[in-house]
Structure 1
Amino acid sequence: MGKKMFVLIVVLMSISLIGIIAVQLFWINNAVESKNEQFKNDVQKSLSSVSQKINDKEEAFFDKKMESFFKNVGLANDAEIRNYLFQEIDTTTKESFSLGTTYLEENFKLPTEFLDNDSIIVKRVTGKQDFFHSRLIKSVDNVFSSTDENRYSFTKRFKEIESAYNSPYFEYYKKTKPLHQRISNNDLKSTIKSELEKRNVYLDFKYGVYSKDGLATKLKSGYYTINKKESYPYPLFFNENGDVEYELYVTFPSKDKHILSGLSSILILSLCFIFIIIIAFSSSLYQLIRQKKISEIKTDFINNMTHEFKTPIATINLALDSIKNPKIINDNEKVLRYVKMIRDENKRMHSQVENVLRISRLEKNQLDISKDTIDMHDTIEDAITHVSLLIADRKGTINTHFEAIITEIPGNEFHLTNVIVNILENGLKYSEGAPKINVYTESTNKYFIFKIKDEGIGMSKAVQKQVFDKFYREQKGNIHDVKGHGLGLAYVKEIVEKHHGTVFVESEKGKGSTFTVKLPLI
């Protein structure tokens, strides 16, 4: 996969993921807003009913008070009776309609509560109405012979004429009476609760009544202050001009919890799906990057292996051509030297192939690692012997600092020797000039620890994170200034982990590296 195609796929997947999450969040937000709006409408309807009931109750109270005045207070003057009669006859249908009305007008003189000598005249009108309807019925010979009659009579009071509620007395009553005497806290609270429960709002609430100037009244639940973002206001009382005189504010402390609880199942499902999408996207992206990395590593590995095999194959071909030369074929000494060269190069190629197969068997758990009690100091000495010729060839030195008290561990001597050899060879490869390597050992109650420190070129933090990965080498492509194919340290990590140990590296660019291996004691 080309780099441009890889970037395009990642970008498209990212846009799709962001789009899906954005749509999910949009619908969740819409659901919450819709629920919030529904809750607001329910509260507003409830407060509207509260306001209506409170006003009706006050009017009923004043009406009752007026009735007591009408009964107990004498007339201001004599009552006046007025009679009205209305009659109409339909000549076509032979029907007649009669309406008789009698009005009784009574004027009451009501004392006021603010001045001793003032009074208010209130007119009460009571009426009686008689309704008469008649229709002539034809006989067989088409002669009107009988009459069908209906008579209705009722008495009522005409409040639209009386209109006591709009009297100056009622307006003065509302102005002079303190609000907390016109309505009690308990009455207001119970009315609010009752109206909210009618609309399935069973939440704790706080309320407060404020004047049109924003001043608080005594009608409130405990210590209440207006929070315009969280409160629901509604007009409670109006003045004679129809303007708002007092407003009722209601706040629900657990409103958000109530709204979200109604959407909990949808929210949980949406969040789960978003979480699954993110995991799936991350996994896919990780696999894409990993596959791309593996593809690059395989390409590097093939290039490195080709280079590693190219030299010994060329050497073998040259040796064979030399042996065929008539001047050399009879020279046993030269023939033996070329044969030895062929054997060494063949052994070198075999070693490279064996390293690859060994890693493969380790990954498939096909490599048999039998464990015996071994002395790690002896194992380290044996590993140093294996690389001593290489060290001497480059005029380098290996110094040991054995300070471990307990040195016996359960392990496989062959593989642990290879582990130490690979770390030592790594120090040789990445050292400029004469290599200088130091080996330190120490022991704790549970672990045997050895450190191999070189003074080579070192490595960056990014390289340290990948140095134990299979096929990884800092030099890439066709640059072969350092021999190898990135399997040595991967093999080290596998073997150490098979022994239930840990291995890590500490390094600084230009100052060398220190590999530390911890292996459990017996």
Structure 2
Amino acid sequence: MNKLFFRLLVLLMSLSLIGIILVQVYWFNTSFKNNDEQFKFHVKQVIGNVADKLQKQEAYSFYDKYNHYKDSTGKVPKKNDLLEFYYVQKNPKTNKTIIYSNSIISEDYKISSSFFDKKFDTERFKNFNSKRVTEVYNNNNIDNSGVGQSLIPDVRIEKSGNLDILDNAQFEIFFKDIASAMPLEERVSKEILQKLIKKELEERGVNTKFEFGIYSNNLATKVKSDDFKYDKNATYSIPIFTDNEGNSKYQLLVTFPHKKKFLLSELVSITILSIIFTLIILIAYSSALNQLIRQRHISEIKTDFINNMTHEFKTPIATINLALDAIKNPKIIDDKEKVLRYLQMIRDENKRMHAQVENVLRISKLEKKELDIAKESCNLEEIINEAIEHVNLILEDREGTVTTHYDATRKTVLLNDVHFTNVLVNILENAIKYSPDVPKIDVYTENVKDMVIIKVKDNGLGMGKTAQKRIFEKFYREHTGDLHNVKGHGLGLAYVKRIVEDHNGQVYVESEKGKGSTFIIKLPLIN
């Protein structure tokens, strides 16, 4: 039930975290799309304003020329007169001449009062009619004095229509007709266009790089910025220079090469905060999950430790009880030799239990840094030989052997002889315990630079990669099934690691399943 609850808790926490991340991603995408729409709206306003200003600037230019003509002729048009206006423009580069004429004809109409159902006399009403002619002459020397010449134009465009308001309508009509016959480069320059677009964008708060170009009937013209490239997702267009019929052959295109970067920059601060908070939640979640797993693992290790410890104590206690029962036997109590043998058994088993308790206390003191480890100069080979002596009885019982290979020429190290002897005894005992056949142990020493290396190699069960990483953890024992043929409680190698590290050394293991293990200790030499 606890495992099920733990898995359910982990699943719910994981789903919640994934949900938070997905909500953040959804919010980011929505905000990005909203910014994109807002950007599109502002840009449409900008290019609309630019198109209007281009048209107005062109109108103002023609208006100045119109006033100049009016001032030079001294003729002020009157609404009830025939008004005929000529405009001549010559391009010295192309030798092309454009002549524009606009005739405003005033016609009187008599309309009966009965038509209006009003009581007044017959009145005169005026109707204005416009006739516009644009003529283009190529390679002909024509000026204002030669307007009346009888020359055949290369291009002739004639338009006519009614006028309701004479002054503004007349001017707009004739200037648009003239402008439509002019080359684009004479109507607008890329410098003026760039200034207009830049100013409008700055007013709308769009502070990002832009490129622009004018297309004529879907073909690029010379009026464009140097790095203009059409991009479907970042280019916006609008018709410019519309004629009197509302048609336009020109399109203004504005593209933003860093559009995505600009849109993201507006979200960067809130996005960074969002990522930071999400990372905090993720770290907190990972830490909490790690702690939960560690607590479960520690709980399992402690249970395993208690079971192993109970087993370790159960055997000597049972032996002591059997020995005491045997001594009580009337047939044995008078046999002094048997009594002494049973007393020796009790003493040995008592030592075993005492050693187990000492092991636990030693690790506890190491954890609290209460263990006093005084070091002095020692010959390493002497320490190794002493440790081998400690395990000789166990080794003889298993009919095993220890072979030494002392190849180190420098062997004086600074260490605590008691604790370091215990370190080697622990490693040798493990080598014996985990050898299912007759134990064959080899002990090597060698010098590498300013270090002395000790290797303890056995022909035991060996261990997997996972066990090699965790073998020096407290209470850890590799599972050997339910058989308690290998005694121990998982504290020996934890003690080994702490003591070796306290001597400024390193300890690690090289092993393979079924091929034995080699424990390696590196210690610094005394210079």
TM-score of the superposed pair, with normalisation by structure 2: 0.81
Equivalences for 1:32-47 in 2 at 5 Å? Answer: 32-47=32-47
Structure-1 separation of matches of 2:368 and 2:8: 35
Deviation at 1:68, TM superposition (A): 4.3
Note if 1:189 corresponds to 2:189: no
The answer to whether the 8 Å contact 1:439/1:450 transfers is: yes
Which position in structure 2 is the counterpart of 1:482? Answer: 486
Distance 1:492 1:170, change over 3 A: same
Structure-2 separation of matches of 1:22 and 1:492: 49
Deviation at 1:280, TM superposition (A): 0.5
Structure-1 separation of matches of 2:248 and 2:444: 90
Structure-1 separation of matches of 2:190 and 2:294: 70
Equivalences for 1:43-54 in 2 at 5 Å? Answer: 43-54=43-54
Structure-2 separation of matches of 1:262 and 1:223: 25
Which position in structure 1 is the counterpart of 2:104? Answer: 123
Note if 1:493 corresponds to 2:497: yes
Deviation at 1:445, TM superposition (A): 2.8
Aligned residue among 80, 88, 91 for 1:104: 80
Structure-2 separation of matches of 1:286 and 1:378: 45
Which position in structure 2 is the counterpart of 1:242? Answer: 246
Task: Say which SS state the counterpart of residue 267 (structure 1) adopts.
Answer: helix
Amino acid in structure 2 at the alignment position of 1:196: L
Equivalences for 1:199-214 in 2 at 5 Å? Answer: 199-213=204-218
Amino acid in structure 1 at the alignment position of 2:388: I
Distance 1:166 1:56, change over 3 A: closer
Equivalences for 1:386-425 in 2 at 5 Å? Answer: 386-425=390-429
Measured against aligned partners, the alpha-carbon deviations of 1:70-96 in whole angstroms (never above 9, x if no partner) come to: 556799xx98x8xxxxxxxxxxxxxxx
Task: Say which SS state the counterpart of residue 207 (structure 1) adopts.
Answer: strand
Structure-1 separation of matches of 2:83 and 2:359: 122
Which position in structure 2 is the counterpart of 1:268? Answer: 272
Deviates more, 1:225-234 or 1:111-120: 111-120
Task: Say which SS state the counterpart of residue 509 (structure 2) adopts.
Answer: strand
Deviation at 1:268, TM superposition (A): 2.6
The answer to whether the 8 Å contact 1:427/1:437 transfers is: yes
The answer to whether the 8 Å contact 1:122/1:164 transfers is: no
Deviation at 1:414, TM superposition (A): 0.9
Which position in structure 2 is the counterpart of 1:178? Answer: 183
The answer to whether the 8 Å contact 2:474/2:491 transfers is: yes
Structure-2 separation of matches of 1:10 and 1:435: 46
Distance 1:239 1:439, change over 3 A: farther
The answer to whether the 8 Å contact 1:315/1:342 transfers is: yes
Amino acid in structure 2 at the alignment position of 1:420: L
Task: Say which SS state the counterpart of residue 191 (structure 1) adopts.
Answer: helix
Deviation at 1:174, TM superposition (A): 3.8
Measured against aligned partners, the alpha-carbon deviations of 1:389-408 in whole angstroms (never above 9, x if no partner) come to: 22222222222111112211
Distance 1:159 1:438, change over 3 A: farther
Structure-2 separation of matches of 1:442 and 1:378: 15
Structure-1 separation of matches of 2:40 and 2:450: 67
Amino acid in structure 2 at the alignment position of 1:108: E
Structure-1 separation of matches of 2:221 and 2:97: 30
Deviation at 1:278, TM superposition (A): 1.1
The answer to whether the 8 Å contact 2:100/2:178 transfers is: no
Which position in structure 1 is the counterpart of 2:355? Answer: 351
Distance 1:8 1:119, change over 3 A: closer
Structure-1 separation of matches of 2:303 and 2:245: 90
Deviates more, 1:225-234 or 1:297-306: 225-234
The answer to whether the 8 Å contact 2:177/2:243 transfers is: no
Distance 1:63 1:469, change over 3 A: same
Amino acid in structure 2 at the alignment position of 1:122: S
Deviation at 1:252, TM superposition (A): 3.5
Which position in structure 2 is the counterpart of 1:59? Answer: 59
Amino acid in structure 1 at the alignment position of 2:63: D
Measured against aligned partners, the alpha-carbon deviations of 1:192-223 in whole angstroms (never above 9, x if no partner) come to: 1111222233333222222342x211111113
The answer to whether the 8 Å contact 1:448/1:520 transfers is: yes
The answer to whether the 8 Å contact 2:459/2:516 transfers is: yes
Task: Say which SS state the counterpart of residue 372 (structure 2) adopts.
Answer: coil
Structure-2 separation of matches of 1:223 and 1:378: 83
Deviates more, 1:301-310 or 1:63-72: 63-72
Measured against aligned partners, the alpha-carbon deviations of 1:300-329 in whole angstroms (never above 9, x if no partner) come to: 111111111111111111111111112222
Distance 1:38 1:197, change over 3 A: same
Structure-1 separation of matches of 2:244 and 2:429: 102
Distance 1:451 1:228, change over 3 A: same
Amino acid in structure 2 at the alignment position of 1:439: V
Deviation at 1:124, TM superposition (A): 8.0
- The gaps in structure 2 that reach 5 residues or longer are 91-95, 107-162
Task: Say which SS state the counterpart of residue 10 (structure 2) adopts.
Answer: helix
The answer to whether the 8 Å contact 2:229/2:255 transfers is: no
Task: Say which SS state the counterpart of residue 58 (structure 2) adopts.
Answer: helix
Distance 1:399 1:50, change over 3 A: same
Note if 1:164 corresponds to 2:170: yes
Task: Say which SS state the counterpart of residue 435 (structure 2) adopts.
Answer: coil
Note if 1:313 corresponds to 2:324: no
User: What is the Cα-based RMSD across aligned positions, in Å?
Assistant: 2.8
Aligned residue among 223, 234, 241 for 2:227: 223
- The gaps in structure 1 that reach 5 residues or longer are 82-102, 126-157
Structure-2 separation of matches of 1:449 and 1:212: 86
Structure-1 separation of matches of 2:252 and 2:415: 83
Which position in structure 2 is the counterpart of 1:148? Answer: none
Q: How many residue pairs get matched?
A: 464
The answer to whether the 8 Å contact 1:73/1:109 transfers is: no
Distance 1:476 1:31, change over 3 A: farther
Deviation at 1:461, TM superposition (A): 0.9
Deviation at 1:37, TM superposition (A): 3.4
Which position in structure 1 is the counterpart of 2:513? Answer: 509
The answer to whether the 8 Å contact 2:508/2:521 transfers is: yes
Amino acid in structure 1 at the alignment position of 2:377: T
The answer to whether the 8 Å contact 2:234/2:259 transfers is: no
Structure-2 separation of matches of 1:247 and 1:118: 26
Amino acid in structure 2 at the alignment position of 1:299: T
